[in-house]
Amino acid sequence: MRYFQGFGGAEWVLFIGGVLVGLVGIGLVWKRRFGAGDKQPGGGLGARLPMVGRVSESTRLLMGIGLLVMGYHMGVWAFPAGVTPVQVGREYWWGVVGGVIVLVVASIGMDRVERNTGGDA
């Protein structure tokens, strides 16, 4: 708890933002477990997400895990450097965010190719 005593406004925003991003990631990972998501015959694209449309289960899981990774690092960046053993340096925030974005966009693109070609890509 001593780390929270030195938090200013920016650190609280970063920490709470990281917690919220992580919770959205958990929601995406557990979406199927709670009965949400559509079953498609033949194993087609099965999850409908807002702003994205229908995506495969693997893309949904990748998005959830990506948000968990981003949320973790956002929360950790609020603490002083070296507090946790697993931490990407704050100066490399663009690598974490960019890596997750590239992976998710590529996965959504592959879903679109599969949908447009009927699964024969």
Residue labelled with tokens 């998501």: 37
- Note the pLDDT of residue 41: 47
Q: What are phi and psi of 47, to 5 degrees?
A: -110, 130
Residue pLDDT, tens place only, 84-110: 888 888 889 899 999 999 999 999 999
Sign of CA dihedral 91, 94, 97, 103: negative
- Note the pLDDT of residue 81: 75
Whether the full predicted model's pTM is greater than 0.85, yes or no, is: no
- E strands of 2-109, at which residues? 47-49, 53-55
Secondary structure (3-state) at 89: coil
**Percent of the chain scoring above 90 in pLDDT:** 31
Q: What are phi and psi of 114, to 5 degrees?
A: -60, -45
Q: Exposed/middle/buried for 5, CB within 10 Å: 0-12, 13-18, 19+?
A: exposed
Question: Residue 24 pLDDT more than 60?
Answer: yes
Neighbours of 119 (CB within 10 A): 12
Question: Residue 31 pLDDT more than 70?
Answer: yes
Neighbours of 8 (CB within 10 A): 8
Distance between CA atoms of residues 71 and 58, nearest Å: 20
55: which strand partners?
47
**Percent of the chain scoring above 70 in pLDDT:** 83
Q: What is the mean pLDDT of residues 30-50?
A: 59
